[in-house]
Amino acid sequence: MLSNLFSAGDDTVAVDWACFGWEPIGFDLAHLALSSGVDPRPDCRRGSSERRGPEVDEGFAACLALVGESRYLWMRANRLEPPSWFVDFVWEHRP
């Protein structure tokens, strides 16, 4: 949403107000990936001056696996069919 984007000089900063809090590094990227079916880490790395690759990758994989499993079980419990890419995407990015 545009209300989540702020200008900071030449940079743009995104704030997720709904889930604002302290989470493991890679947590937000995992949620974004589970919503889109696309791994955002390559773009994130290109736009970041920080070099925290291993920490991001570990947090991303752990959160994606745990949250992915939780979302899958919720969808099945509510008789919803997961998106066609969902299970393969989670499996491909497992820790």
Q: Is the pLDDT of residue 47 over 80?
A: no
The CB density around residue 35, as the number of other CB atoms within 10 Å, is 10
How far apart are the C-alpha atoms of 60 and 62, rounded to whole Å?
6
71-80 mean pLDDT: 96
Output the pTM of the full model.
0.71
pLDDT band at 5 (very low <50, low <70, confident <90, very high): confident
Model pLDDT, residue 80 = 96
Give domain status of residue 15, yes or no. Answer: no
Q: Which of 74, 73, 62, 76 is nearest to 31 (CA)?
A: 62
pLDDT band at 72 (very low <50, low <70, confident <90, very high): very high
How far apart are the C-alpha atoms of 4 and 64, rounded to whole Å?
22
Model pLDDT, residue 77 = 97
Give domain status of residue 31, yes or no. Answer: yes
Give domain status of residue 6, yes or no. Answer: no
How far apart are the C-alpha atoms of 21 and 16, rounded to whole Å?
9
Give domain status of residue 34, yes or no. Answer: yes
What is the number of structural domains in the chain? 1
CB of 33 closer than 8 Å to CB of 39: yes
Q: Is the pLDDT of residue 1 over 60?
A: no
Q: Is the pLDDT of residue 3 over 80?
A: no
Give domain status of residue 44, yes or no. Answer: yes
Give domain status of residue 2, yes or no. Answer: no
Give domain status of residue 81, yes or no. Answer: yes
Give domain status of residue 1, yes or no. Answer: no
Q: Which domain holds residue 39?
A: 23-92
